[in-house]
Structure 1
Amino acid sequence: MGLFDRFRRRETGGPASSGLTRLPRSHGPSGLRARLEGAMARRRLRGWNPPLENINALVASGGPRLLARARELVVTNGYAANACEAFASNMVGDGIKPSSLIEDAAVRDRVQRRWLAWTDEADADGLTDFYGLQAMVAREMFVAGECFVRMRLRRSEDGLLVPLQLQLLQSEMLPFEKTETAANANRIRCGIEFDAIGRRVAYHFRRRHPGDSTDRGDVIPETVRVPAGDVLHIYRPIDAGQIRGLPHVAPAMVRLFLLDQYDDAELDRKKTAAMFAGFITKTAPEEALIGEAEADLDGAALASLEPGTMQVLLPGEDVKFSSPADVGGGYEAFQYRTLLAVSASLGLPYHLVTGDVRQANYSSLRAELVEFRRRVQQLQHGVLAHQLCRPIWARWMETAVLAGVLDLPGYPAAPGRFRAVQWIPPRWDWVDPLKDIQAQVLAMEAGITSRRKVVEATGYDVEEVDRENVTDARRAADLGLSYRTGPGETQGARATPATRPEVGDGASATDPPTEQE
């Protein structure tokens, strides 16, 4: 028996063992060491010594530089700019819209109409509506990782339907370096003031953007304290206890920057090589070729040729044409793999970042869109709807009631009954509309889902769609128009049966439909 055989028998247990039942390797000390291999200091991992720092410390120290680089990258890099727009358009689209859950239909309709009218006046700068502000917030989340929304009450003489407007503030307006103890003994961390039990009580904003040289003036103090009840901090918390946001583009910033430099260098190399068509070697430098110009200050002469020129060379003269090196067959594969890693870092499908769908098909597009939409829905409901839409809806309703715009009896006693709302994200465009709609129709007919859920998946309120259907049907009947289908009907073998005769017309409500029906 060899040495290795004896070692193997000792390790696994053999005739020389004590007869005790041994645990599997995965449950013994060896298995534990294997699971903790990342904590060992062996040769391969000897140089891997990351600092044990909290995410807030990292953000406070590197936040300003990371933010500046992210903004420049989105402006100058085409892939980053395209990814930013794809992120915002899929996150918000034409808006995450409310559907009030008030039981009284008349009150619910009145609230929805007042809200729709107010959305046009929501922007304090007057540049867009409430849903346009949502898109701006989504872009800021991609670039800066966070955005601040200040809810500002207005005077009655301002002429607004509801005296409330929203002001968007960029991340730079809240200084990362402002970490101190306030006069009231509260702690200020990265510009956010916390009380003794860790609640946010105020934000210390700069009065002017630090990078805006067009807005000058000597204002003291530099920052102004704004109560936390008037400010919404929109960001995605990655770690527990995180107080400031990180740019969504951060994991892909280095690759995008280096890839951009590589592409620029490759373009300059090809451009320089293309400037030289050929090189001429002469035995008698004093004799000029056809088309040769006078030498420049460095003694170099250039010769240009016209179409159809036939040049006779003297003995010993030679012409060598330039043959610049190509980028090689691996250039496109390298670009693809790099951009694939960039897309994975951003959490976006490859074709949305690059616009390249050459290697895509129906199955691959649908597979990656399903996963991407799960991530987007998580951000829609957990961040935008919860941190932005929900508190704005509550503040808007409270302001509208106090201003007399909404008459809601019983609101002061039970405001939660009137604030109940469901936020409907934008609809998803289908890869194969026919198959998806057929699947939804079958699901409704089988009772697996409701028509409300199906309609809301398209980004619309089911009650609004019903009102439009009633209006369209009444108008078509008044004009004597007839279409192939009406609202609520489907085509084919699973068509909805026609309406049965009323009991008063000589038929029973339980009678089966006639052949004509």
Structure 2
Amino acid sequence: MPGMLSHWRRRIGAFIGGFEAGLGNRRLKGFQPSRAHLNTLIAAAGADITARARWLIRNNGYAANAIDSWAGNVVGTGIKPSSLIADAGLKAVVQKLWLEWTDDADADGFTDFYGLQRRAAREVFIAGEVFFRFRPRRPEDGLVVPLQLQMLPAEMLPLTRNEVLPSGNVVRQGIEFDRIGRRIAYHFLRRHPGDVTDPGAAGETVRIPAAEIIHVIDPVDAGQLRGVSKFAPAIVKLFLLDQYDDAELDRKKVAAMHALFITTPAPAEPFDVAESIGENGERTMDLQPGQIVMLEPGEQVQTSDPADSGQTYEPFQYRTLLQVSAALGIPYAYLSNDMIKANYSNARLALLEFRRRTDAYQHAVMVWQLCRPVWARWMDTAVLAGALGISGYEANRRAYLGCSWLPPKWDWVDPLKDAKAEIEQIAAGLKSRTQALAERGYDAEQVDGEIAADQARERTLGLSFSAQASAPDAAMTPADEAAAAQENATTS
């Protein structure tokens, strides 16, 4: 019956026409994509995709460069918070305590909180997801706020764990859901399935409440439970391109090992020159610079003339890397470090598009899924532990948790032109100084406080610095520029 229904649909589609993409004609006859949900596809192939992505990053220069470029642009030196607490004094206390705590944030002790952000950006790109577990600490541990974060890679949550529990909850791909679909817990492995140095029992799991876990993921389909690597559409091309490069390099190496070939009608007779036997039993002789070798009658000398890859090698590499670049969402120049093909205009265009994608990712993934939950848990822990004394915190918790997250500033392609354009936008009321400073990754109140402190110190010390002297064109109007030009012409 299903076969007849499918046949009937094809006949109707062929009769009606309409969407060519839905027809079963000769060109599309072999195009039969799977209709399985993404969760099913990830369960079947997710582990292999992640393993291959990690292999490429360890062994392929383009993959390693792409992941470092992505993490550097998404996180850089850190996506940093700016509390929205109205009380300036309390805000300063909160910001200072947070800065002190960031050094203690990593449970493994390898980096600070902003380093964890960078590692998270890498993991989500490689494996499609990463997990963080809140680790409350005791007062005697000596932390400014008794809280740390433990990073758990995607492999620690088994994709094959699917069951219905006696309570009625359902475990799907290691995630436990209640009867209305809320995440209740995660069933993590106690040891990494690929780490043979860990003496723990293989396959043993532990149930961790969902409130203690942060699941960072960039979903691509509705209803998706687990992540899929960003490398998925590029893995095949990267791997085959790597093999092609290796084969080409090895061919060149083998060809370069042979300088001359001598053919003779009587191979059994020895040469008149000193010869030796090679590793594979072939007769060889060494050539010295300027040496003249007398050959027997009938012997001929043929130089090694290996076939060249021709002029197709470079275009083929370029086009393949362009496809990989598009699949990864990384500009070609960032993927290959090839700046020769870029000029100012197309480099700026590619950079603007990349920044739009990065901005969206920073907000939807890094800030929403990682930074905000950590800030909320940190504030709660700091108040409960007495590190922050905030009266009425529980009653006004939402107001105290208000926070803006400032990504690192983008470096300008043309700093002078971009700075002038921004100054004109502020002067015309198209943007505020607060917005401009936030786009650079700075807190406006902090910057204003530093400027006021600098100016007070300069007055005390009798110092005077002119902003006009350092950037005379920035404050000049068109009339001023015309007058200056006329004065210069008269003087000359």
TM over 0.5: yes
Structure 2 counterparts to residues 412-491 of structure 1, below 5 A? 412-485=394-467, 491=472
Question: What letter is aligned with 2:98?
Answer: W
Distance 2:58 2:22 in 1: 40
Once the two structures are TM-superposed, the CA of residue 138 in structure 1 deviates from its matched residue by 0.4
1:212 paired to 2:195: yes
Once the two structures are TM-superposed, the CA of residue 218 in structure 1 deviates from its matched residue by 3.5
Alignment match, 2:241: 259
Q: TM-score, normalised by structure 2?
A: 0.91
Distance 1:163 1:297 in 2: 67
Alignment match, 1:13: none
3-state SS, counterpart of residue 187 of structure 2: strand
Alignment match, 2:270: 287
Question: What letter is aligned with 1:249?
Answer: F
1:124 paired to 2:97: no
Alignment match, 1:53: 36
Q: TM-score, normalised by structure 1?
A: 0.87
3-state SS, counterpart of residue 250 of structure 1: coil
Long gaps (5+) in structure 2: 1-11, 478-492
Match of 1:104 among 68, 87, 96: 87
Alignment match, 1:382: 364
Structure 2 counterparts to residues 172-211 of structure 1, below 5 A? 172-211=155-194
Distance 1:237 1:291 in 2: 70
Q: Deviations over 1:363-389 (max 9, x none)?
A: 101101111111111110001100000
Distance 1:298 1:98 in 2: 67
Structure 1's 84 and 297: CA in aligned 2 closer, same or farther, altered over 3 A? Answer: closer
Alignment match, 1:494: 475
Question: What letter is aligned with 1:347?
Answer: G
Distance 2:368 2:37 in 1: 26
3-state SS, counterpart of residue 232 of structure 1: strand
Q: Is the 8 A contact 1:252 1:346 kept in 2?
A: yes
3-state SS, counterpart of residue 44 of structure 1: helix
Alignment match, 2:339: 357
Distance 2:191 2:75 in 1: 28
Distance 1:296 1:106 in 2: 82
Q: Is the 8 A contact 1:195 1:201 kept in 2?
A: yes
Distance 1:450 1:217 in 2: 56
Q: Is the 8 A contact 2:190 2:201 kept in 1?
A: no
Structure 1's 126 and 365: CA in aligned 2 closer, same or farther, altered over 3 A? Answer: same
Q: Is the 8 A contact 2:82 2:95 kept in 1?
A: yes
Alignment match, 1:274: 256
Which segment is superposed worse, 119-128 or 467-476? 467-476
Q: Deviations over 1:307-364 (max 9, x none)?
A: 1101122321110011001111010000000000000000110000000011111110
Distance 1:137 1:277 in 2: 53
Once the two structures are TM-superposed, the CA of residue 296 in structure 1 deviates from its matched residue by 5.5
Question: What letter is aligned with 1:196?
Answer: R
Percent of pairs with identical residues: 54
Structure 1's 486 and 153: CA in aligned 2 closer, same or farther, altered over 3 A? Answer: farther
Question: What letter is aligned with 2:449?
Answer: R
Which segment is superposed worse, 307-316 or 56-65? 307-316
When the two structures are aligned, how many residues end up with a matched partner? 465
Structure 2 counterparts to residues 287-326 of structure 1, below 5 A? 287-293=270-276, 295=277, 299-326=281-308
Distance 1:177 1:289 in 2: 72
Question: What letter is aligned with 2:160?
Answer: E
Alignment match, 1:21: none
Once the two structures are TM-superposed, the CA of residue 484 in structure 1 deviates from its matched residue by 2.4
Question: What letter is aligned with 2:26?
Answer: R
Distance 2:280 2:180 in 1: 76
Alignment match, 1:145: 128
Once the two structures are TM-superposed, the CA of residue 146 in structure 1 deviates from its matched residue by 0.4
1:156 paired to 2:135: no
Alignment match, 2:6: none
Q: Normalized per residue, which structure has more helix?
A: 2
Long gaps (5+) in structure 1: 1-28, 497-517
Q: Deviations over 1:260-308 (max 9, x none)?
A: 0111111111111111111112244423232322x45865210111111
Distance 1:260 1:358 in 2: 22
Q: Is the 8 A contact 1:289 1:303 kept in 2?
A: no
Distance 2:18 2:381 in 1: 57
Alignment match, 1:347: 329
